[in-house]
Structures are given as structure tokens and as C-alpha cells.
């Protein structure tokens, strides 16, 4: 495996950053997760645009243009001879000193890692997830806005730890008002009748790119798609529930906080959307080769 760091490629065991990098010292940076399917990078422009939006939000200057970043992605995949992959792009504030001041960091560090990923075992895509709601609340927009894919993911990690300790695969995080925001690494959807609903971004949800594709596909299936406020009650009494994310893709949920969702088996629309998403991803994207 070869990893891109600031214009150079390094073998995995030689890919290193300084201990004075503010991404390491303070979580001062951003990231993006992108997928390649069937020799194409899926939703490439959307992911690169979101990377640059996150950078702008934290006043981080990426020392490359969008086109240069895209070219580096393509070269990383080609060097690793990958046609199906998960691509993790990391931009840190760069090397500084032990103080907080970002002005001490002369130049941002850009890292691109391409590898294969399987977030959940295949059987869970067929059987569905059992998840819980955790006490850790989603960050307030006035603190670290959930729209920013920052390297400071401790909020999500604390929630994931709570899920792990309870033996659950994932965790629902609520916002400060008690409304459903998102899971630790995925967006959440429910289906009720012919309506599919997901938390609006104003409730603490990331504007997920897979989320957006699934909303488009659901609309094409004739479902009414709503971005709205959801409570745990809404999830408990839903006909179906599923999660979406770049790494997770589309995965059904069959139990939340010990309550079965409907029959306790993956729902019809959850399965249809999982299949439709996979088909769409295999047929669309920017060619690598």
C-alpha cells in the first residue's frame, strides 16, 4: 500500500507525520471519506466540495486546488491498483509548536489513504442491526458544528464506547433538546407508510452524501421524503429503520433500545433502497483509469 502525504507517496510503514502536527496534538483538521466502486469514484465532486467546505469553516487553507486534490486521489488509487476502495482524505493544520495558536502552523498537511473497508459483517446487512440510544449528546452547532467533518471526533467516539459497552453495533445520538440527530458514524432514516423521514441538519445531523443519494432514490420509488424532527418515539413505532453512510452504505435496523422495529426483520423499503443504492453506485462516478 502506498499513501499520499504532501505530494509524495510512501509505503504504509513509512507514512508518518510529525508529533508536532496540530492534527495529532489537538484534533485540528478535517477529513472526508469517499468510495470507489467498479473503477469509479462515487460522488467525487460532492465529497471534494464538502472537504473544502469543512476547511473553510475552520479557517484552514488547503494548499492545493480542488482539481489538484482530485488528481492526487486518482493517482493514489492507480498506484494501489484499486477499483473498489474506501478513500480517507485527511487535512491537518500542519506542524506547529505545543501551543494552541494555529498561526504557528506554516502549512497544512494533506494525506490520502486508499484501502478496502467492511464496516459491518455481511450478515448484519441481511439480518439488520440492533442499536441503542446513548447518554452522550451530539455537539451543539455553536461548539463544534456537526456539519464540519473535523478530526475532533471524541463526541462520536464517546457515544461509540457506550454502544460497545452495551453490546450494540451502533448508537443513536440525540441533540441537546432530545431530538434524534444521527448515529456515531451514520445518518438515520425511518419509514412510516409511504413516507421516509430523516433528521434535518438543523437538529445536529451531518448532511451526508449517501443520505442525499438515498433520498433521491426513495423519491424515485414514489416515497414522500421528509427532513424533519424525530423523537425516539418516532423511531420505536416506525415501520422500518435504516442507516446510511459512505462506509456503511445502507444497512437496516431491526431493534432500538430493546424495542423491535415492526416485525423485527429488515423492511421492504430498507432492502429495496440497499439494492438500489448498490446498483446506482456501481454505475455512476468518475473513472479512475
Helices marked H in 58-133: 66-79, 122-127
How many C-beta atoms surround the C-beta of residue 269 within 10 A?
20
Beta strand 109-115 pairing with 2-5: antiparallel
- In sequence order, what are the residues at sequence separation of 6 or more whose Cβ sits closer than 8 angstroms to the Cβ of residue 28? 22, 58, 92, 93, 102, 105, 151, 152
Decide: residue 194, CB within 10 A, 0-12 exposed, 13-18 middle, 19+ buried. exposed
- The C-alpha atoms of residue 188 and residue 271 are separated, in whole angstroms, by 15
- The C-alpha atoms of residue 153 and residue 138 are separated, in whole angstroms, by 11
Which residue of the set 12, 104, 149, 192 is catalytic? 149
Report residue 108: phi and psi, to 5°: -70, 150
**Among residues 201, 278, 266, which one has the least CA distance to residue 239?**
266
Told to judge if 149 belongs to the known catalytic residues of this protein, a careful annotator would answer: yes
- Mind telling me the catalytic residues? 149
Amino acid at each position: 500500500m502506498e499513501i499520499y502525504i504532501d505530494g509524495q507517496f510512501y509505503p504504509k510503514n513509512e507514512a508518518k507525520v510529525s508529533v508536532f502536527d496540530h492534527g495529532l496534538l489537538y484534533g485540528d483538521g478535517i477529513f472526508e471519506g469517499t468510495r470507489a466502486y467498479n473503477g469509479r469514484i462515487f460522488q467525487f465532486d460532492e465529497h471534494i466540495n464538502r472537504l473544502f467546505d469543512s476547511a473553510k469553516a475552520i479557517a484552514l487553507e488547503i494548499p492545493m486546488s480542488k482539481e489538484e486534490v482530485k488528481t492526487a486521489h486518482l493517482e493514489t488509487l492507480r498506484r494501489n491498483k484499486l477499483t473498489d476502495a474506501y478513500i480517507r482524505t485527511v487535512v491537518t493544520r500542519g506542524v506547529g509548536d505545543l501551543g494552541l495558536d494555529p498561526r504557528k502552523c506554516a502549512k497544512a498537511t494533506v494525506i490520502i489513504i486508499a484501502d478496502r473497508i467492511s464496516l459491518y459483517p455481511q450478515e448484519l446487512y441481511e439480518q439488520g442491526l440492533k442499536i441503542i440510544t446513548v447518554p452522550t449528546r451530539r455537539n451543539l452547532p455553536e461548539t463544534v458544528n456537526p456539519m464540519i467533518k473535523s478530526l475532533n471526533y471524541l463526541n462520536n467516539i464517546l457515544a461509540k464506547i457506550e454502544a460497545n459497552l452495551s453490546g450494540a453495533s451502533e448508537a443513536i445520538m440525540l441533540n441537546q433538546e432530545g431530538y434524534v440527530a444521527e448515529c456515531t458514524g451514520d445518518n438515520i432514516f425511518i419509514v412510516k407508510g409511504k413516507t421516509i423521514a430523516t433528521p434535518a441538519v438543523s437538529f445536529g445531523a451531518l448532511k451526508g452524501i449517501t443520505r442525499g443519494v438515498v433520498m433521491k432514490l426513495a423519491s424515485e420509488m414514489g416515497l414522500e421524503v421528509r427532513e424533519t424532527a424525530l423523537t425516539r418515539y418516532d423511531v420505536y413505532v416506525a415501520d422500518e429503520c435504516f442507516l446510511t453512510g459512505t462506509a456503511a452504505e445502507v444497512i437496516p435496523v431491526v431493534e432500538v433500545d430493546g424495542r423491535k422495529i415492526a416485525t423485527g426483520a429488515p423492511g421492504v423499503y430498507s432492502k429495496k433502497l440497499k439494492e438500489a443504492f448498490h446498483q446506482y453506485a456501481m454505475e455512476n462516478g468518475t473513472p479512475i483509469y
